[in-house]
C-alpha cells in the first residue's frame, strides 16, 4: 500500500506539486516553476536526497535530506529539512514510512544520524518522539538572516 523510493530527476513532476503544497503549508506563495527550478538544482548538483512516498500508486508525500558535517565528531550526517504528506493521506503511516526510510539511508551510508527543526506547535512532534527522535533541550539554535 505504501511504497517509498529515493527520487531522481525522473520523479520531478510528481515531487513539484507536493513541494509546492509543503511551501503553502508554511505560508509561502505558490510557485510551481520556482519549485521545479529549486528541486532540479538540488538533484542535478547532488545537494539533497529526496524520498517520495506513494499510497496505492499515487505520490502523496516526500522528505528531503541535506548533507552536513561535524568537525567535533568528524562524521557526516543529514538535516531532514522537509517532511510533507498531503492532507488527505495523513494518519496513514506515510510520514512514519518516510522517516524510517531516511533512517535506513543514514545507516546504509554510515552517517552519524539525522537532525531536524520543527515549529513548536507542529503536531508532527508526536510522530518524531514515537520514532525515538530526541528533543534537544541542551542547545539553543540561532539564525542570522542576510536579507
Report pLDDT digits (tens) over 104-144: 999 999 999 999 888 888 777 888 888 888 888 888 878 78
* Residue 9 reports pLDDT greater than 90: yes
CB half-sphere exposure, 115, CA atoms < 13 A: 13
Beta strands in the chain (DSSP E): 2-6, 49-55, 58-70, 75-85, 114-115
Q: State the pLDDT at residue 131.
A: 84
SS3 category, 60: strand
- Listed by start position, the domains of the chain span 2-130
Q: How far apart (Å, rounded) are the C-alpha atoms in residues 32 and 41?
A: 14
Cell reading at 147: 536579507
* pLDDT reported for residue 83: 95
CA dihedral (140, 145, 73, 98) positive or negative: positive
- List, for residues 10-54, the tens digit of each pLDDT value: 999 999 999 999 999 999 999 999 999 999 999 999 999 999 999
Instruction: State residue 147's pLDDT score.
Output: 82
Pick one of 3.40.50.300, 1.20.1580.10, 3.40.630.30, 3.40.309.10 as the CATH number of 2-130. 3.40.630.30
**CA–CA distance, 18 with 82 (Å, rounded to integer):** 11
133: left (phi over 0), alpha (psi -120 to 50) or beta: beta
Amino acid at each position: 500500500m505504501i511504497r517509498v523510493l529515493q527520487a531522481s530527476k525522473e520523479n520531478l513532476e510528481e515531487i513539484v506539486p507536493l513541494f509546492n503544497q509543503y511551501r503553502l503549508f508554511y505560508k509561502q506563495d505558490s510557485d510551481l516553476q520556482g519549485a521545479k527550478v529549486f528541486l532540479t538544482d538540488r538533484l542535478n548538483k547532488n545537494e539533497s536526497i529526496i524520498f517520495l512516498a506513494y499510497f496505492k500508486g499515487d505520490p502523496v508525500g516526500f522528505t528531503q535530506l541535506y548533507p552536513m558535517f561535524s568537525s567535533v565528531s568528524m562524521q557526516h550526517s543529514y538535516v531532514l529539512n522537509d517532511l510533507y504528506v498531503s492532507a488527505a493521506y495523513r494518519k496513514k503511516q506515510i510520514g512514519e514510512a518516510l522517516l524510517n526510510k531516511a533512517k535506513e539511508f543514514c545507516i546504509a551510508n554510515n552517517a552519524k544520524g539525522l537532525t531536524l527543526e520543527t515549529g513548536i506547535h507542529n503536531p508532527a512532534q508526536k510522530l518524531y518522539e514515537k520514532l525515538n527522535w530526541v528533543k534537544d533541550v541542551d542547545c539553543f539554535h540561532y539564525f542570522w538572516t542576510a536579507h
